[in-house]
A and B are shown apart, each in its own frame.
Chain A
Amino acid sequence: MSGERLLTITDLSVSFGGLDALSHLDFHVDEGEIVSVIGPNGAGKTTFFNMISGMVTPSSGDILFKGESLLGLDPNQVTARGIARTFQNVRLFANMTILENVMVAQHCRTKQGIFGSLFNTRAFRDEEREIQEHGEKVLGFFGTRLTGYRLHQTASVLSYANRRRLEIARAMATKPQLLLLDEPVAGMNPVESVELTKLIGQLRSEWGFTIVMIEHDMGVVRDVSDRVVVLDHGETIAQGSFEDVSTDPNVVEAYLGRPVEEKS
């Protein structure tokens, strides 16, 4: 399944005033892979995503995407290169409509400016139509929940689970190659988690996205990942298949703590 190397991270460190959020991290994703990043709270998972998407600047190390370094790029430039993300604490444009949310995400793939919109040129109308069609297409991925009469409702009326879905749709709308999902099933009930797990599989098989996912729900991680990377205190403590990782003593220790007798 895996193809070329898409993302390579070497020796990446970041510290927030004395605290090493990530230290000497090595990581890679091949095209077509689904990689899960797990780890206890505060392990540095979200910082890891923020770093890839350009929201935090690493203090050392390098991030290569398709062979080019992402260091020093603004988040919008990273998105333009083909990396899109969702947020752990759903951050939609709550007062824009559902359709507008996915339309604005295509900003970096489109180019019509003031002139086109003022004179309503053919190019402008064509582009608007394309943006809208692509927007409806990504929303259609989640069935009819986000389409139809909902298209013109504001994102604020959506249920929690649907907000998560809309966030994924918004990331999909940026036409990325690599999708970073930050806890996609957090707050969903078991039925919804199972459904979303299936959809994550489809994101790869039908849409061709490579996916890196932070997730706490081990069922989802087991079902969907090709590879699991475990972070703790900003360091990689294990990686490999879910089975390997879940029995790794380091991982068990990170999650559950050391057995009592060894502590002394």
Chain B
Amino acid sequence: MSESLVSPPRSAFDQDWRKVVRFGLILAAALLFVSLTDMPDKLDRKIVIEQYLSMGYLVLLWLPLALGGLVTREVVLEGMASHAKGAREVVAGAAVGLIGGLGLSGLIWLLDTRDLSDPLVNWNDDLLEILTFGQSVGTGALYWVLISVSLGAMGGLAQVVPAAVRRSVMASIVAVILVAALEAALDDISEGFRLEWLFDLMFAKRGGLTVAGVVIVIVVAVGYSLIGRIKTAEVKERYDALKGAERQKANTGLLLLTAAAVVILPMFLGKLTNELLANVGLFLLLALGLNIVVGLAGILDLGYVAFFAVGGYTTAILTSPSSPAFSPELPWIVAVIIVVFMACIAGLFIGAPVIRMRGDYLAIVTLGFGEIIRLTVRSDWASGLTGGAQGITSIPGAQIFGLTEVRGINPQAVFYLVAFFCAIAIYMSWRLERSRLGRAWMAVREDESVAEAMGVNTVNVKLMAFVVGAILAAFSGAIFAAKVGSVFETSFKVLVSIVILVVVIVGGMGRIAGVIAGAVVLIGVLGGPNQPGLLAEFSEFKLLIYGALLVWMMLKRPEGLVPNARRSRELHQDEFLQDAWLKGEIDDDDGSTVEGEVAPA
């Protein structure tokens, strides 16, 4: 419909030069930053394409491509004229690439001539070696300028070519990188499915995709982006159109399918993948609990790890033969019952003093309480019970009715146990959200004083949220103790609280599917605070990526990966209201617009 509004392309040098220079400088800064974090050097061992490309170079190469494309991206408002794309976009991209490439060349020159290794620990010859491709400084610098300019131009070109081409190319690039990054996991999975031959064809012996592998991946990716995408969209559309009972049927079907997958898949997966899934499950359980506290009741609890610790230590003390103070050596199942009890007490104990506070104050105080619990556990005073810094070791695995022993050497069993508790947590969240208590939590989140004035006992209701969250976290702690076989206070640092919160926020606060997505993406792919993820090579830069991802999400998609409809409305109130107005959903009320109402006197 906007075709008539497209004006002819502008000349190639009719640029918004300020913007081009700004993006160029951003690119230069990003290239320098990534270089000086030592990512190129550390990740050089991770091969993406045999003999051609390593992850180390890839972390630099994507930058000019992305920024070269972004510099000419403009938001065209409805009804406004837009210019046809053309040579101008390519020139802008190339210019951005040039500035960035010159910046990196400058770094290479500096690396060669100056020694700044005092403040910048990664300022060394290894980095220089990588950046110059093992050649002379001049050649390396020239290469980078050329690479950066051409990649920037390609980014610009991506804006010009038809959407289908752009999508195919993008999908290919992303797929190649993804498949290469997941090499270890795919190795693990291929064994279970008897697909070793495919794996051997696609991956080289010493790591990295073979050329044949790249071709296969590209064919699949292009095929998907041309055909599969449309099909997926159709299915989604059909699902969205379903109403009432049919929708419910479809949901039940999906749920059963997911449950079946969760039960059957691990049998085909290797140790490594099962271990990953078990970690995802542990953090998912924590995140589901925190989702009730933060997502539903709106209580920003930054000391959530305390309840994880309560679960872990209670289990350790009750089941381990080497527990210092007393060791009843109870079976795990019995210990879990006591864990629930202890979690309730801890929830009330920590909740009671902080619950009357609101917002930022509450966040700070819970942050403090989380650390208090950890420091108490470590202190000499409590070391008689908790083992202090030595922790408690030789915790036996969890005997599940004599069927199996769940412990770290059997990650598949850990996963099943965790999945069982996650299912309970999901059911609880789902039921509670649609209950009297869930509505009260939402009301408290929306406006605490009004909730109070409408008869909601906010103190009780908030304490309930705290306790339910505490129980779920303690379950996770109990499984964690049985899985790892030992507990140390270092496993319960404040970083764990932060990571769980990030999982909830990135996934989508207040939405169960969102929390699951967040746990899979962050814990599964990147790894937990002390647990490796799929991208084990990145574990050193995990927190950096967490931070970058969080900032990017807050700017671009604050409602999370799988948003809760309510929350995204909250965050995009204006746009939402405008849409509703366009659709005629907002009543322009003059007291007589709705039929069948009380006639005005």
Q: Are B446 and A143 in touch, CB under 8 angstroms?
A: no
Q: Is B590 an interface residue (CB 8 A)?
A: yes
Stretch with Cβ within 8 A of A (4 or more), from B14-22, B243-251, B308-316, B591-599? B591-599
What total count of A-B pairs have CB within 8 Å? Answer: 159
Stretch with Cβ within 8 A of A (4 or more), from B69-77, B205-213, B335-343, B580-588? B580-588
Interfacial residues of chain B within 564-590, with CB under 8 A of chain A in the complex: 566-567, 569-570, 573, 576-577, 580, 585-590
Q: Which residues of B contact A160 (CB under 8 A)?
A: 589
Q: Is A15 an interface residue (CB 8 A)?
A: no
B591 touches which one: A120, A144, A189 (CB < 8 A)?
A189
B contact patch SS = helix
How many angstroms from the CA of A53 to the CA of B451 in the assembled complex? 12
- Specify the chain A residue showing the minimal Cβ separation from B450: A91
Q: Which residues of A contact B601 (CB under 8 A)?
A: 194-195, 198
A55 touches which one: B434, B449, B456, B592 (CB < 8 A)?
B449
CB distance from B365 to the nearest CB of A (A): 21
A75 touches which one: B427, B443, B452 (CB < 8 A)?
B452
Q: Is B455 an interface residue (CB 8 A)?
A: yes
Q: Are A161 and B450 in touch, CB under 8 angstroms?
A: no
CB distance from B376 to the nearest CB of A (A): 29
Q: Which residues of B contact A59 (CB under 8 A)?
A: none
B436 touches which one: A112, A159, A198 (CB < 8 A)?
A112
B580 touches which one: A84, A143, A157, A192 (CB < 8 A)?
A157
Q: Which residues of A contact B597 (CB under 8 A)?
A: 142-145
Q: Is B561 an interface residue (CB 8 A)?
A: no
Q: Are B457 and A108 in touch, CB under 8 angstroms?
A: yes
Q: Are B455 and A156 in touch, CB under 8 angstroms?
A: no
Q: Which residues of B contact A94 (CB under 8 A)?
A: 446
Q: Are A107 and B436 in touch, CB under 8 angstroms?
A: yes
Most A-side CB within 10 Å, residue of B439, B447, B453, B589: B453
How many angstroms from the CA of A120 to the CA of B589 in the assembled complex? 40
How many angstroms from the CA of A76 to the CA of B594 in the assembled complex? 35
Q: Which residues of B contact A48 (CB under 8 A)?
A: none
Stretch with Cβ within 8 A of B (4 or more), from A32-40, A95-103, A252-260? A95-103
A118 touches which one: B428, B446, B588 (CB < 8 A)?
B428
- Specify the chain B residue showing the minimal Cβ separation from A101: B443
Q: Are B591 and A79 in touch, CB under 8 angstroms?
A: no
Q: Which residues of A contact B442 (CB under 8 A)?
A: 93, 95-96, 100, 104
Q: Is A74 an interface residue (CB 8 A)?
A: yes
Q: Which residues of A contact B569 (CB under 8 A)?
A: 95, 154, 156
Most A-side CB within 10 Å, residue of B439, B451, B569, B587: B439
- Specify the chain B residue showing the minimal Cβ separation from A120: B431
Q: Is B454 an interface residue (CB 8 A)?
A: yes
How many angstroms from the CA of A53 to the CA of B457 in the assembled complex? 14
Interfacial residues of chain A within 130-144, with CB under 8 A of chain B in the complex: 131, 142-144
How many angstroms from the CA of A189 to the CA of B573 in the assembled complex? 26
Q: Which residues of B contact A95 (CB under 8 A)?
A: 442, 446, 566-567, 569-570
- Specify the chain B residue showing the minimal Cβ separation from A171: B454
How many angstroms from the CA of A195 to the CA of B577 in the assembled complex? 27
How many angstroms from the CA of A145 to the CA of B570 in the assembled complex? 23
Q: Are B591 and A161 in touch, CB under 8 angstroms?
A: yes
B454 touches which one: A74, A79, A131 (CB < 8 A)?
A79
Q: Is A162 an interface residue (CB 8 A)?
A: yes
B590 touches which one: A76, A109, A189 (CB < 8 A)?
A189
Q: Are B432 and A114 in touch, CB under 8 angstroms?
A: yes
Q: Are A74 and B456 in touch, CB under 8 angstroms?
A: no
Q: Are B437 and A114 in touch, CB under 8 angstroms?
A: yes
B455 touches which one: A80, A124, A131, A188 (CB < 8 A)?
A80
Q: Is A30 an interface residue (CB 8 A)?
A: no
Given contacts A117-B432, A118-B432, A124-B435, contact A79 B590 (CB under 8 A): no
How many angstroms from the CA of A45 to the CA of B464 in the assembled complex? 36
Q: Is A170 an interface residue (CB 8 A)?
A: yes
CB distance from B184 to the nearest CB of A (A): 40
Q: Are B450 and A195 in touch, CB under 8 angstroms?
A: no
CB distance from B220 to the nearest CB of A (A): 42
Q: Is A227 an interface residue (CB 8 A)?
A: no
Q: Are A53 and B439 in touch, CB under 8 angstroms?
A: no
A interface size (C-beta, 8 A): 60
Q: Are B587 and A107 in touch, CB under 8 angstroms?
A: no
Q: Are A156 and B573 in touch, CB under 8 angstroms?
A: yes
CB distance from A47 to the nearest CB of B (A): 14
Encoded as 1 (CB less than 8 Å from any B CB) or 0, chain A from 141 to 167 comes to 011110000000110111111100000
Q: Is A2 an interface residue (CB 8 A)?
A: no
A145 touches which one: B440, B443, B594 (CB < 8 A)?
B594
How many angstroms from the CA of A142 to the CA of B591 in the assembled complex? 11
A157 touches which one: B446, B585, B600 (CB < 8 A)?
B585
Q: Are B458 and A76 in touch, CB under 8 angstroms?
A: yes
B456 touches which one: A76, A112, A157 (CB < 8 A)?
A76
Q: Which residues of B contact A80 (CB under 8 A)?
A: 455
Q: Is A110 an interface residue (CB 8 A)?
A: yes
Interfacial residues of chain A within 53-93, with CB under 8 A of chain B in the complex: 53-55, 74-76, 79-80, 84-85, 87, 91, 93
Q: Are B443 and A157 in touch, CB under 8 angstroms?
A: no
Q: Are B587 and A158 in touch, CB under 8 angstroms?
A: yes
How many angstroms from the CA of A127 to the CA of B455 in the assembled complex? 17
Q: Is A18 an interface residue (CB 8 A)?
A: no
Q: Are A161 and B436 in touch, CB under 8 angstroms?
A: no
Q: Are A110 and B598 in touch, CB under 8 angstroms?
A: no
Q: Are A157 and B598 in touch, CB under 8 angstroms?
A: no
- Specify the chain B residue showing the minimal Cβ separation from A111: B436
Q: Are B435 and A104 in touch, CB under 8 angstroms?
A: no
Q: Is B468 an interface residue (CB 8 A)?
A: yes
Most B-side CB within 10 Å, residue of A85, A113, A156: A156
Q: Are A93 and B446 in touch, CB under 8 angstroms?
A: yes
Q: Is A174 an interface residue (CB 8 A)?
A: yes
CB distance from B568 to the nearest CB of A (A): 10
Q: Are A74 and B436 in touch, CB under 8 angstroms?
A: no
Q: Are A195 and B600 in touch, CB under 8 angstroms?
A: yes
Q: Are B428 and A55 in touch, CB under 8 angstroms?
A: no
How many angstroms from the CA of A167 to the CA of B442 in the assembled complex? 17
How many angstroms from the CA of A124 to the CA of B431 in the assembled complex? 11
Interfacial residues of chain B within 433-478, with CB under 8 A of chain A in the complex: 434-440, 442-443, 446-447, 449-458, 464, 468
Q: Are A157 and B452 in touch, CB under 8 angstroms?
A: no
Q: Are B454 and A157 in touch, CB under 8 angstroms?
A: no
Q: Which 7 A-B pairs have the closest CB atoms?
A: A108-B455, A143-B597, A117-B435, A159-B589, A79-B455, A93-B446, A192-B591
A-B contact pairs, 20 of them (CB 8 A): A53-B453, A84-B455, A87-B450, A95-B446, A100-B439, A105-B454, A107-B454, A107-B455, A109-B455, A117-B432, A118-B428, A143-B596, A144-B595, A145-B587, A174-B455, A191-B590, A192-B590, A195-B598, A195-B601, A198-B598
Q: A76-B457, A108-B457, A124-B435 are in contact. List 11 more A-B contacts (CB 8 A).
A: A74-B457, A79-B455, A84-B454, A96-B566, A100-B442, A107-B440, A114-B468, A127-B436, A144-B594, A158-B586, A194-B600
Interface residues of chain A, those whose CB is within 8 Å of chain B, are 53-55, 74-76, 79-80, 84-85, 87, 91, 93-96, 100, 103-110, 112-114, 116-118, 120, 124, 127-128, 131, 142-145, 153-154, 156-162, 170-171, 174, 188-189, 191-192, 194-195, 198-199
